[in-house]
Amino acid sequence: MMHRVQFEQWVPVGIERVFLFFANPENLPRIMPPENGTELVRLNLIPPPDSRREQPLQPTSANQGPLAGAGSEVVTSFRVLPFLPLRAPWIALITEFEWNHHFADTQKKGPFKSFLHRHQLRTEVRDGIEGTVVCDQIDYEVGWGWLGEWANKLFIRRQMRRTFAYRQQGLQARLPRLRRHGHLQGGVPRALLCPAGAARGGIFHGACVLVGPSGPPAYPASQICCCNRAD
C-alpha cells in the first residue's frame, strides 16, 4: 500500500540560499538526528546547469560544496535501529532538478519497497519578511504485506515525523539569518498536524490544527505539516 507524508516549514531566508543548502548533499548528515547515525559514503554527482541560476550568490558555510543535479547518486548509510551498531546502505537517485523550485530523489537501494521524496520551495512574505516555504512530500511503500503495514502504523510513520521535526530545527541552526529577525522562540517550530483525512481520487482531504510544544499558542517561525494518505 502506498503512503504519503508531507512536512512544511517557513523560514525567513531567501529561496536561493535555502535551495543551495538542500541541493548540497553534504548537508544531509548535518540535519539528521544523531541516533540515525547517517553517514555520507559516496557521491556520484552530475552538476546542475549553472545557466538556471538567476544570479550569483556569495559563498557561505551554508551553500559551499557540491550540488547534486538530475542523474546524481547519493550513497549514505544509517543505523537500522538506534540502539544497535547494525548499519544499512541507502542509495538515492536525483530524478528532477529545477533551480529555486524543486528537486526529487527516489530510493535506488534501501529499506523500502519504493520511496520518492520531492523537495519543493516557494517564496512567501510573512509579517513583511520575504522568506521561503520548504515542502517535503514523501510517497513510500514499505512492502512485506501486512507485516509492513503493521510496522508502518507502529513506528515507521512516527519515526519519519520525528526525523523531519529534527531536520527542520537543524535547518534553523545551519542557515545563519534565521535567528536575526527575532522570530524564533526557543528554537522550536510549530506543528501543523493533519489528522483524520480521507483520500478521494488520490487527493488528500483533511483539517489542520496548529499546535506548539504544549499546545497553542503556536510558534510563528516555522511549520510542520504532517499529512498521511493511503491510496
Instruction: State the chain's mean pLDDT as an integer.
Output: 77
Is a pLDDT exceeding 60 seen at residue 224?
A: no
Question: Residues 116-120: what's their mean pLDDT?
Answer: 98
Q: Are 124 and 133 in contact (CB under 8 A)?
A: yes
- Cell representation of residue 137: 512530500
Quick check: 134 pLDDT over 80?
yes
The pLDDT assigned to 194 comes to 38
Task: Grade residue 123 by pLDDT with cuts at 50, 70 and 90.
Answer: very high
Place of cell 503495514: 149
Residue bearing cell 507524508: 5
CA pair distance 83, 93, nearest whole angstrom: 28
CATH architecture of 2-230: 2-Layer Sandwich (3.30)
Buried b (16+ CB within 10 A) or exposed e, 189-214: bbbbbbeebeeeeeebeeebeebbee
- Which tens digits make up the pLDDT trace of 170-219? 898 888 644 444 343 333 333 333 333 333 333 333 333 333 333 333 33
- Is 48 within 8 Å of 97 (Cβ atoms)? yes
Band of residue 63 on the pLDDT scale cut at 50, 70, 90: low
Residue-level pLDDT at 185 = 34
